[in-house]
Structure formats: C-alpha cells, structure tokens
Chain A
Amino acid sequence: DVKVTQSSRYLVKRTGEKVFLECVQDMDHENMFWYRQDPGLGLRLIYFSYDVKMKEKGDIPEGYSVSREKKERFSLILESASTNQTSMYLCASSPRSGRFTDTQYFGPGTRLTVL
C-alpha cells in the first residue's frame, strides 16, 4: 500500500512564526502536491513538484514556499504565518505517467491553527 505521512496531525503557531510542514511518501512517486482544505471551498492546490528540486505554483501559492531536496520528501513552508492560513493542509503523491491520469494518494492531513 502507498503510504503518505505528514509530520504533525495538529499544530498551533503564532502570527509571524515560520512554519514547516513535512510530507514523506514511500512509493517512489515522482509527483507530490500540497493542498489546503477549507469548508465549502474543497481542496485548493498550493504547490506541486514533478521531481527533486523542481516546483510549480498551484492556484493559491501566495504566502507559501516549498522545498523538495529528496524524492520522498516535500516540505511546505509558511515564511510568516498569518491567521488566514489557519486550515487543514493535505499532502498527496502520484506516479508520473504520460497521460497524467494516475490517482493521487493523500496523507492524513495537518490541522494548523495560527493565533
């Protein structure tokens, strides 16, 4: 089974703090994704990566950055956390195929609260 793990289930931070969310997958997938989930808005893509050291902006990248130094690990960074970044953050991975039809596999999520 594909396993995607996230470093924390719950996290509480203060406004202005630098926050790191870590995601690790064990299936040698090329693609990795970070989403945020908010009620009524579904999942919105923040950033994604097709390979090591490679990243692309998703639909809502403002206020976030990412790092992918190793294939299995994809980090989301909030440089200066703000209250409007309080949300559920979901990481996902998928293998790469020419038709991009592969299923994305999700981690359990990190619920971040910024006070």
Chain B
Amino acid sequence: AQSVAQPEDQVNVAEGNPLTVKCTYSVSGNPYLFWYVQYPNRGLQFLLKYITGDNLVKGSYGFEAEFNKSQTSFHLKKPSALVSDSALYFCAVRDEKAAGNKLTFGGGTRVLVKP
C-alpha cells in the first residue's frame, strides 16, 4: 500500500526567509511524487512532480523539491518566501506497482508567511 505523511500541520516563516515543507512516503515499488498548493477558496494547483531522473525538481512559482530515496522524503523548498505563498500545501504519491492512476495525499501543511 502507498502512503504519505506531512509531519507538520503548520509552518510559519518570515518573508524573505527560506521555506521548507516536509513530506515522507512509503511505497512498494518506485514512487511518483507530486506537490499541490491550495489557495483560500480555490481548488488544488499543481506545483511539481518527480517521476524519474534528477533528484532536484523545479516547479512553478520558484518552488523546488528534492527526492531522497534513502530517507523516503520529498521536501518542498523555496529559497525566499513571499507573503503570497501563504496557502495549504499537499504532497501526494503513487506507487509504480499500484494499479490505476490513484494518488494518495498527505494531510496537508498550512504555510503562513509573515511580512
């Protein structure tokens, strides 16, 4: 079975400081990993994904994520946070060995960037 964990319910960061949102996963085969963001009263927007290849993935709005197979992690990072990055962030995983295009989502991490 595939599962994903986001250990922090909320992350607070000052504007201009680095932002990290943590995600760990568990799968039987190789993982396909995704990050989505949800702004208030909006649906989820795709940020980036890791399928194969370079462990550092760059995505939208200056975000990037690093795939670490030994630590089964896929943390989301941004070098300099903006107030507009305040939102709810979801990590999701699909096991290569699982049938169908089913994603399992983490519980979400709320990011609050203070001016």
Contacts and interface: CB of A to CB of B under 8 A. Distances in A.
A79 interface: no
A48 B108 contact: no
Interface string B63-86: 000000000000000000000000
Contacts, number: 59
Interface in B1-47: 6, 9, 32, 34, 36, 41-46
- Dominant secondary structure at the B interface: loop
Contacts of B32: 100-101
Interface in A13-62: 31, 35, 40-45, 48, 50, 56, 58
B9 A96 contact: no
A76 to B, nearest CB: 15
A103 interface: yes
Contacts of B49: 101, 103
B103 interface: yes
Nearest to A9: B41
B101 A43 contact: no
A105 B46 contact: yes
A42 B106 contact: yes
Contact of A107 (B43, B101, B107): B43
A4 interface: yes
Given A45-B102, A108-B42, A103 B90 contact: no
Interface of A: 4, 31, 35, 40-45, 48, 50, 56, 58, 90, 92, 94, 96, 99-109
